[in-house]
Structure 1
Amino acid sequence: MLGKKRELGRKIEDLKIGENLQLTETVEDKDLLLYLGLTNDGNPLYIQHDFAAQTAFEKPVVPTIMLTGIITSAISKYLPGPGSYINEQQIKFHRPVYHYSTFHFSLELVKIDVEGNEVTIKVEASDEKGNLLISGTVLVNPPKLESQLASH
């Protein structure tokens, strides 16, 4: 990875209000097991069907931090893209997301602060029936290089 030049996402002057990104995701068992392995989060609500059946959720739910990860990954990969940095996020989880469910994310650039090199991205996610699952905003610094690294 070192020494290999990476493409950066778009700079603030290349972005426009109204730009959007649509993603469709499904969380599988392998995704949950990776999360549990990385975080050592043993919440039985995430993986134990017998436990979850005794709760108001009735079946295992996807950890909210995994859903937040999908949002941050979309920002890092696509809007504005590689080199972006998230300053703040305000996210509300309206309904639980269950294992194997398919859900749709919408990210829309709603504000641009050129002087502060910061954009506001509105985020929403809904299930296949159109029920709102997630809503919020994310404040992001698009990539901005202060100086070029010399390559040897």
Structure 2
Amino acid sequence: MLDNFPRGTICIEDIEMGMVRHLRKTVTDEDIEMFAQVSTDRNPVHLDEAYAQDTIFEGRIAHGMLTAGLISAVIGEQLPGHGTVYMGQTLKFLAPVRPGDTVLAEVEVIGIDHAKRRVQLDCRCKVDGKRVLVGEATVLAPSRKFD
């Protein structure tokens, strides 16, 4: 299930403070398996229910970076969108995401340096209104001057 804004590009000339974009995605067992395969992170807390039951999470959880990847999707597809270059990202994981959880990934413009084409973004992911991930990203935004 995906619920998001249209994909595309918002050039630095059109970015405004407080702009927000988001996507909503339900994390599936298949997502977790594919992420494990691509990343080679096969930690059993993500893949083995019996193992995960005996951890502090008391059940399987999604990879934290899978959740963080949803932030990347919002940045790369919506705000600023196509042509954006990541410069840095901080992340703090606050709660686990479990198979079947629907994650709302949001980014909000909190700083703009037009001369350097840099945009600072507040990043957050929520499940059922509860923050599970927070952080900030700095990106180089596309510009109409370089089309």
What is the CA RMSD across the aligned residues, in angstroms?
A: 1.8
Name whichever of 22-31 and 62-71 sits farther off. 22-31
Per the TM alignment, residue 106 of structure 1 is displaced from its structure 2 partner at its CA by 2.0
Deviation digits for residues 105-133 of structure 1, max 9, x if unmatched?
Answer: 221111100111100111112211x2221
Distance in 2 (alpha carbons) for counterparts of 1:60 and 1:51? 8
The aligned counterpart of 1:133 is 132
Q: CA contact under 8 A between 1:8 and 1:83: conserved in structure 2?
A: no
Q: Percent identity over the alignment?
A: 26
What are the within-5 Å matches in structure 2 for residues 55-134 of structure 1? 55-128=55-128, 130-134=129-133
Say which one has the larger Rg.
Answer: 1
Distance in 1 (alpha carbons) for counterparts of 2:26 and 2:15? 29
**Residues 147 and 105 of structure 1: CA distance in aligned 2, closer, same or farther (over 3 Å):** closer
Distance in 2 (alpha carbons) for counterparts of 1:13 and 1:53? 50
Distance in 1 (alpha carbons) for counterparts of 2:13 and 2:26? 34
Distance in 1 (alpha carbons) for counterparts of 2:24 and 2:34? 20
The runs of 5 or more residues in structure 1 that have no matched partner are 1-6
Distance in 1 (alpha carbons) for counterparts of 2:103 and 2:10? 27
Distance in 2 (alpha carbons) for counterparts of 1:17 and 1:55? 42
SS of corresponding position for 1:135: strand
**Corresponding letter in the other structure for 2:141:** P
Distance in 2 (alpha carbons) for counterparts of 1:147 and 1:105? 29
Provide TM-score, normalisation by structure 2. Answer: 0.88
Provide TM-score, normalisation by structure 1. Answer: 0.86
SS of corresponding position for 2:13: helix
Q: CA contact under 8 A between 1:22 and 1:105: conserved in structure 2?
A: yes
Q: How many residues are aligned here?
A: 141
Distance in 2 (alpha carbons) for counterparts of 1:55 and 1:28? 20
Per the TM alignment, residue 87 of structure 1 is displaced from its structure 2 partner at its CA by 0.4
Distance in 1 (alpha carbons) for counterparts of 2:60 and 2:119? 35
Q: CA contact under 8 A between 2:125 and 2:133: conserved in structure 1?
A: yes
The runs of 5 or more residues in structure 2 that have no matched partner are 1-6
**Corresponding letter in the other structure for 2:50:** D
Per the TM alignment, residue 103 of structure 1 is displaced from its structure 2 partner at its CA by 2.2
